[in-house]
Amino acid sequence: MRVFVLFMCAWACQGREFVDKMDRYLIACHTTDFTCFKRQYTALRDNVLLGNVKLAIDNFEPFSVQYGSDCVRIEGWTESELIGIGMDGSSKQLTLALELPVYMKQVKNLTNCAKPELATISVTFPFTLLKKKGDIYLVLDQEEVDALVDIPVYRPWSLTCSSLDAEAAELNQASDWAYDIVQHVEAARDFAVPFTGRLRTAFQRIPLKRLMLLYPEEDYSDLQFAFIDPIVLLSK
């Protein structure tokens, strides 16, 4: 399963007190250090985006959708990883790409109804720079989200007694079940935005210098950089 999305974040904590409490979780990265940005995202994911009692951030609740008589929960953000990041100072756009497994579960009996498939989420949002009390903040506008979910199609199977055919039948049924569900879900709006909205809020509450370090020749107003995980490119 592949999901392509554009994204960013939302919760309640105010001003400098919020930033001071977050200090222990922040990782600042130079614009040439992609490995650092990957660690930065993981730290934010685990300590902020998914919830934190110490920061008064509610736990992130997976998206649930009514499907027939069942309530189906769609999960996977807890295992999301940053696989790409870019910033274009001229067009004022920040782009992130995430990779995560997508799980679909029936909530009623807590049965795993489909094995997780890999999802790739590409996130782009326009931004403005705001100077406040000597610090520069990255203010992200409302994200545009575009999602494509591809459900895998398994090989044809015949009604025989072999274990391989039985397994193929089960996989096809899971594929059909998952395909029917995603027809009822606006993946961009329902699955992605509740999570990415938290990221948008985090960025605009944290001074940019605590997330992104400049070299002497750089300026936040005209930064130009982009990275993508080479392993992802090779796997395509």
Query: pLDDT digits over 72-125, tens only?
Result: 888 889 999 999 999 999 899 999 988 888 887 777 654 555 555 677 788 888
What does the pLDDT read at residue 158?
Answer: 45
Indicate yes or no: pTM above 0.85.
no
List the one residue out of 94, 77, 2, 8 whose CA is nearest residue 42. Answer: 77
Is pLDDT at 3 greater than 60 in this prediction?
A: no
Q: What does the block give as tokens for 186? A: 């606006």
**pLDDT tens digits along 57-69:** 899 998 887 766 6
**pLDDT tens digits along 119-163:** 778 888 899 999 998 899 999 998 877 666 555 554 444 444 445
Half-sphere exposure of 223 (CA within 13 A, CB side): 25
Written out in words, the top-level CATH class of the domain with range 15-152+187-217 is: alpha beta
Average pLDDT, the chain: 77
The residue assigned the tokens 């300026």 is 219
Give the dihedral of Cα atoms 224, 4, 39, 86; nearest 10 deg: 0
What does the pLDDT read at residue 56?
Answer: 85
Show me where the domains of the chain are located: 15-152+187-217
3-state secondary structure of 167: helix
